[in-house]
Amino acid sequence: MKELQDIARLSDRFISVELVDESLFDWNVKLHQVDKDSVLWQDMKETNTEYILLNLTFPDNFPFSPPFMRVLSPRLENGYVLDGGALFPKLNTSPRGWILKQGFLFCLVQGRICRKAGKSKKSFSRKEAEATFKSLVKTHEKYGWVTPPVSDG
């Protein structure tokens, strides 16, 4: 509830939050503005995109574990946005806890709005996002937060 109140204070300028089915554990977040020097901001202007729609799902052990964060729309590519719209998990956590605003903003401004014919209209799916996220976490648990050798797949 504290996090929701903190974000509500910012809602007039660049972010708004709606509870999904009135659950405090499931939020849809509209990000109306990102860093104006970023390529994502330029993409938003060129494509008349009013906001980036995110979904945050909070675990039962929150705040000791971070929420699962993913992009719902528009379809983003590159940067730290993974298949299914999941946001790269390393940037959402730190040794002292998780970082909401800084983590997802950094992930997003590195991405681009997809403009490829056909692909840009395809929606991200939660199932795909969770599978990609779990696969990446397994890889990083095995190798640490470095890129594994190409020979290992």
pLDDT in tens, 9-21: 666 677 888 899 9
Residue 152 lies in a domain: no
Check: CB of residue 124 under 8 Å from CB of residue 85: yes
Count up the domains in the chain and report the number. Answer: 1
Asked if 17 and 4 touch (Cβ cutoff 8 Å), the reply is: yes
Region 50-75: what's the mean pLDDT?
86
Specify if 148 maps to a domain. Answer: no
Is residue 117 situated within a structural domain?
yes
Sheet holding 68-73, edge to edge: 15-20, 23-31, 52-57, 68-73
In whole angstroms, give the CA distance from residue 103 to residue 119: 26
Is residue 153 a part of any domain in this protein?
Answer: no
- Please give the residue range of the domain that contains residue 131: 2-143
Q: Is residue 149 part of a domain?
A: no
- pTM confidence score: 0.73
